[in-house]
Amino acid sequence: EVQLVESGGGLVQPGGSLRVSCAVSEFTFSSHWMSWVRQAPGKGLEWVAKIKEDGTEKYYVDSVKGRFTISRDNAKNSLYLQMNSLRAEDTAVYYCATGQYSHGYWGQGTLVTVSS
């Protein structure tokens, strides 16, 4: 069974940094694009970023460009999202998901709270 398990969420002050991770198992991780999608409390889904199989192409939603960096380690079947200069509006559950155009598998999410 395919499993995606996010970790690294928590409480961080505005302007701070945090890295969330996603460990993927029972899936040909190195052969697929991967994405991050977030959901603010009580709100809808928002696509955040995606990365090509080999990490050579990365795309972001405008609101996080220059602040967030998506990366992957195919040897560890892991996906990462480095978040810098965090703002209150970045507070959300962050999901990792498989796919470039649609997301067939999702993790359970990790909550990131930006507050002083």
Bridging pattern class, strands 58-60 and 45-51: antiparallel
The residue among 27 and 106 lying less far from another protein, judged by its C-beta, is 106
In the chain, what are the helix, strand and coil shares in percent, each to the nearest 5? Answer: 10, 50, 45
The one among 46, 67, 69, 111 contacting another protein by CB under 8 A: 46
Locate 87 and state its tokens. 């703002």
CA dihedral defined by 27, 108, 45, 100, rounded to 10 degrees? Answer: -10
Q: How many residues bind another protein (CB under 8 A)?
A: 21
Stretch that binds another protein, among 15-23, 24-32, 79-87, 100-108 (CB under 8 A): 100-108
The one among 32, 45, 67, 82 contacting another protein by CB under 8 A: 45
Q: Which chain residues interact with another protein by CB under 8 A?
A: 35, 37, 44-47, 50, 57, 59-62, 95, 101-104, 106-109
